[in-house]
Amino acid sequence: MSLRYQISIRILVISLCILLLGGSIGIWQARQSVKKEVDSSIHLALQLIKLGMDANKANQTDWMSRLSHLDQTRHLNIQLKMSSGKLINISGHSQRQKTDDMPPDWFVRLVLSDYPIVEYPIKTSNNGTLTLLIKANPMDEISEAWQESIAFFITLFALVLLTFLSVQLVFNKTIKSIHAIIEHLKGIEKGDYQKKLADFSTREYDDIAKAINHMTDVLNKTEQQNRALTQHSLEIQEDERQRLSQDLHDEFGQSLTALKVMAVTAAHDKTDTQKITASMIEICDHLMAVVRSMMKQLHPLILTELGLKATLEDLLHHWEVRHAHTVFTLHYEDAVDQLEQSVMIQIFRVIQESLTNIIRHAHASQVDISLRIKPDSDTLVLSIIDDGVGCDLEQVSSGFGLLGMKERITLLGGRFEIQSENNKGLKITAEIPLT
């Protein structure tokens, strides 16, 4: 069910409720108004009769003339009941009402109330008694109430219709904005990050458009970084393969050739076998050292055999020998050795890359590395702090080293953060959930 349909149904239901409530209130007001008007007319007629007539001091002609003036009284039927029982109509204003102005029967039934017949006795000069009958006949007042009710309902219906049309106009504009946003999101789904949403006149939609445009910029930047990182990784892979191929050619090729020559030479009778054997042993030792170095570069075997702590201590010892002026400190909890092998190798690579960057660029005298597990959240926390020259994060955030470290932590489902200022060192923090 569409949003337009849902809102339209709700507006229609509310409008009907308003019309019903307004109609009920209008009919109730009309009923009260007619009752008050009729009661007032009866009371007024009685007062006029009491104040303007004195049958004891006037003859029949005089008071009959006075009673005839009541013909203009509204909402009443006044009749004179003779002593013989004959009824004489004195006032019948409502009877002259045009039938075209009559309200419908259902409205009359709802508005009309039960009105009592008022009897007023009149004594004649010859000691006779006549009865003045005053009956309520509020049809003209009901007709006026009906006309007012029609005007009220027309006004109310016009307001409801105007409200409905206004809401529909707003919805048309809203639906267009929503469609524009949806089409833009479809473009983002297909990888179109260059197109931007235009500004909207409605503040809320404009805020959404700005948020989506910002998201698009971030996705575009992230995609470019990922492409650059992938390209860089491929280049590193090719360089590593080329270097390994060169090492195999230079070291293994020459050494194996020398071993072959020595083996051929050793086959002669007059050859100094002891000297050749010593040379072959020396060449084999050199090859073993080269193989260990290449294996260490490809994957530190000590990590698999002795664990992460021993591997990090060996790595720090390697840098301490080369850079005696830098003090390396390792804070390591033994529980970290219980981590999975895949997590440990990624942590080792992050620390390895961080130390390489520190040695190359930071010129630090103190480097602190901390690995601990939060007991309350079962999270591995890695912290690397140096007191070097620091850096401007805006300038180095796109470096492949930092991107590579961040990508490794992200692949583990963790959070990677860098804090640094010029001449105030650098701090790397990584939090990796272990569950």
| Per-residue pLDDT, 351 | 92
Strands 118-123 and 76-81: unpaired
The answer to whether residues 136 and 75 touch, using CB atoms and an 8 Å cutoff, is: yes
Torsional class of 430: left (φ above 0), alpha (ψ -120 to 50), beta (otherwise): beta
Q: Write the CA distances from 175 to 169, 182, 205, integer angstroms.
A: 10, 10, 11
Q: Write the CA distances from 412 to 122, 178, 344, 406, 429, integer angstroms.
A: 110, 37, 11, 10, 14
Average pLDDT, the chain: 80
266/276 Cα distance (integer angstroms): 7
- Positions in the chain whose pLDDT score sits under 50: 55-58, 94-98
| The residue type at 117 | I
The angle that helices 203-247 and 273-298 make with each other, rounded to 10 degrees, is 180
CA nearest 198: which of 182, 211, 187, 209? 209
Torsional class of 423: left (φ above 0), alpha (ψ -120 to 50), beta (otherwise): left
CA dihedral of 70, 76, 77, 82, whole degrees rounded to 10: -60
Domain ranges of the chain: 3-166, 302-433
Sheet with 118-123, side-by-side order of all strands: 87-92, 76-81, 129-136, 118-123
| Per-residue pLDDT, 128 | 65
| Per-residue pLDDT, 23 | 83
Q: Write the CA distances from 18 to 8, 11, 12, 22, 32, integer angstroms.
A: 15, 10, 10, 6, 21
Paired tokens of 392: 């401007």
| Per-residue pLDDT, 243 | 77
| The residue type at 50 | K
Torsional class of 415: left (φ above 0), alpha (ψ -120 to 50), beta (otherwise): beta
427/359 Cα distance (integer angstroms): 15
- pLDDT tens for residues 364-419? 999 999 999 987 778 999 999 999 888 777 665 556 677 788 888 988 889 999 88
Torsion sign across C-alpha atoms 25, 28, 34, 35:
negative
| Per-residue pLDDT, 380 | 92
The contacts of residue 284 (CB under 8 Å, 6+ apart) are 259
Question: For residue 360, what is the DSSP state?
Answer: I
Paired tokens of 323: 């850079």
The answer to whether residues 309 and 298 touch, using CB atoms and an 8 Å cutoff, is: no
User: How many residues are listed for the chain in this entry?
Assistant: 435
Collapse the DSSP code of 423 into the 3-class scheme (helix H, G, I; strand E, B; otherwise coil) and give the result.
Answer: coil
Distance of CA 289 to the CA centre of its chain: 62
From the CB of residue 392, how many other CB atoms can be counted at a distance below 10 Å?
A: 10
Q: What is the pTM of this model?
A: 0.49
Paired tokens of 397: 């955030």
Query: Where does residue 3 rank: exposed (0-12), middle (13-18), buried (19+ CB within 10 A)?
Result: exposed
| Per-residue pLDDT, 383 | 94
Q: Which CATH architecture has domain 302-433?
A: 2-Layer Sandwich (3.30)
What is the H or E stretch that residue 428 is in?
Answer: strand 426-433
The answer to whether residues 371 and 380 touch, using CB atoms and an 8 Å cutoff, is: yes
